[in-house]
């Protein structure tokens, strides 16, 4: 094992105050009212999709992010599916997104029978590159008489764009939005990983038409499984809520539905957990920043690998810390050595365009995406025990 790998393992073990046992990448932390709220929910019998905690969680997520409306869902993937549907993404439309993202982004696009197109990321933010987006559109797109933008090669309408704030690092979202505005393309932010991350003092997920978050077990706060979408548009929020509740029309006893809906509403049990976790978000963020700062200082001195920091104007939640190696060989050895020694690390996801379902999708050169995939490694980033 390389000396620097030994040093990094020692540093991580010290940071987590853990000499010998397994250190996960991101473990949930339950240090607040979780059990209290859960047992209140059980006592109330309102464990399913009607209940006070669901409404409360929606109000609180909206208030926290500064959005006018929030709709809680069973998962972040559902929330993204809903966000695309309520923005009228139709079968055979194209949706611009990233090759470097978690599979959920491309899956949600596919649930609408729309077709993802993969745009490169910036190497510093690891999120969608406004420059690459602009040049993709200039080369491949044309605006037609109906006001929409079409892909000149495929003839399909380019309806939406889903940039993703990778690992909670804010991307240059204002630039992405202004390019999309010029082309009349709707922006839906996949902010699944970036609760608590800001760009130019505005919460991520609030730049596009709709933003979505995930509260899966490995995210900054968790409710077991869950998601939410946020928007300032009341009509979109109403329609999302309608679609997540089987498109049932409100009535005291009748079951009438006016379109094909989904069973996507977050259950009250999960919302109880979510409310308890949200109360601790600020303290989680503080601890994560302290850890990120100490990683930054350590890697700066150590000098072999580069620790990825937020860019100017951005405030990251540091959901998952990420380091970059000089070569794929160094990356591979590090992944092997750390995982064999009980310190969990992992590379970024396989790029979407390399997967069998998406390998025929159009993409640009993906130069930075490939560069990052060959070098990036996530290192342990859990909130540490403070109670």
Query: Binders of ligand PLP among 240-299, rule CB under 6 A?
Result: none
Q: Which of 37, 46, 57, 102 binds ligand PLP (CB under 6 A)?
A: 102
Per-residue three-class SS string for the chain = CCHHHHHHHHHHHHHCCCCCCCECCCCCCCCCCHHHHHHHHHHHCCCCCCCHHHHHHHHHHHHHHCCCEEEEECCHHHHHHHHHHHCCCCCCCEEEEECCCCHHHHHHHHHCCCEEEEECECCCCCCECHHHHHHHHHHHEEECCCCCEEECCCCCEEEEECCECHHHCCCCHHHHHHHHHHCCCEEEEECCCCCCCEECCEECCCCCCEEEEECCCCCCCCCCCCEEEEECCHHHHHHHHHHHECCECCCCCCCCECCCCCECECCHHHHHHHHHHHCCHHHHHHHHHHHHHHHHHHHHHHCCCEECCCCCCEECCCCCEEEECCCHHHHHHHHHHHHHCCECCECCCCCHHHCCCCCCCCECCCHHHHHHHCCEEEECCCCCCCC
Answer yes or no whether residue 189 interacts with ligand PLP by CB under 6 A: no
CB of 383: closest distance to ligand PLP in angstroms? 17
Answer yes or no whether residue 118 interacts with ligand PLP by CB under 6 A: no
Contact mark string toward ligand PLP, 200..229, x via CB under 6 A: --------------x-x----------x--
Answer yes or no whether residue 133 interacts with ligand PLP by CB under 6 A: no
Answer yes or no whether residue 101 interacts with ligand PLP by CB under 6 A: yes
Q: Which of 34, 120, 193, 364 binds ligand PLP (CB under 6 A)?
A: 193
Residue nearest ligand PLP (C-beta atom): 76
CB of 364: closest distance to ligand PLP in angstroms? 19
Q: Which of 186, 192, 230, 373 binds ligand PLP (CB under 6 A)?
A: 192
Q: Which of 104, 126, 373, 383 binds ligand PLP (CB under 6 A)?
A: 104
Query: Binders of ligand PLP among 18-37, rule CB under 6 A?
Result: none
Q: By CB under 6 A, which span of 11-19, 98-106, 195-203, 333-341 interacts with ligand PLP?
A: 98-106
Answer yes or no whether residue 71 interacts with ligand PLP by CB under 6 A: no
Is 95 or 192 the residue whose CB approaches ligand PLP more closely?
192
User: Binding residues for ligand PLP, per CB under 6 A?
Assistant: 75-77, 101-102, 104-105, 164, 190, 192-193, 214, 216, 227
């Amino acid at each position: 094992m390389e000396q620097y790998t030994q040093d990094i393992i020692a540093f991580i073990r010290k940071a987590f105050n853990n000499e010998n046992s397994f250190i996960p990448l991101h473990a949930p932390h339950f240090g607040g009212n979780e059990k209290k709220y859960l047992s209140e929910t059980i006592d109330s019998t309102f464990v399913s999709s009607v209940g006070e905690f669901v409404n409360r969680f929606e109000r609180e997520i909206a208030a926290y992010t500064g959005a006018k409306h929030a709709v809680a869902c069973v998962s972040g993937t559902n929330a993204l599916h809903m966000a695309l549907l309520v923005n009228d993404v139709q079968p055979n439309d194209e949706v611009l997104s990233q090759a470097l993202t978690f599979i959920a982004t491309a899956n949600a696009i596919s649930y609408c029978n729309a077709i993802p197109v993969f745009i490169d990321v910036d190497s510093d933010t690891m999120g969608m590159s406004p420059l690459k987006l602009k040049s993709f559109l200039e080369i491949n797109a044309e605006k037609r008489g109906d006001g929409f933008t079409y892909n000149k090669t495929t003839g399909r309408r380019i309806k939406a764009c889903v940039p993703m704030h990778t690992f909670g690092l804010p991307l240059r979202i204002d630039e992405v939005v202004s390019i999309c505005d010029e082309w009349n393309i709707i922006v839906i932010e996949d902010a699944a990983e970036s609760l608590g991350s800001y760009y130019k003092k505005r919460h991520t997920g609030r730049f596009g038409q709709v933003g979505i978050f995930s509260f899966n077990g490995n995210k900054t706060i968790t409710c077991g499984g869950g998601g939410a979408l946020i928007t300032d548009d009341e009509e979109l929020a109403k329609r999302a809520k309608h679609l997540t509740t089987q498109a049932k029309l409100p009535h005291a006893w009748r079951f009438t539905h006016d379109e094909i809906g989904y069973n996507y509403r977050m259950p009250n049990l999960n919302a109880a957990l979510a409310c308890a976790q949200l109360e601790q978000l600020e303290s989680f963020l503080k601890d994560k920043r302290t850890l990120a700062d100490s990683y930054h200082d350590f890697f700066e001195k150590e000098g072999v690998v580069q620790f990825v920091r937020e860019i100017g104007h951005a405030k990251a939640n540091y959901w998952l810390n990420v380091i970059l190696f000089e070569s794929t060989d160094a990356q591979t050895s590090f992944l092997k050595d750390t995982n064999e020694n009980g310190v969990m690390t992992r590379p970024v996801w396989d790029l979407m365009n390399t997967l069998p379902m998406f390998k025929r999708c159009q993409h640009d050169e993906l130069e930075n995406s490939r560069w990052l995939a060959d070098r990036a490694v996530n290192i342990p980033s859990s909130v540490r025990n403070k109670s």
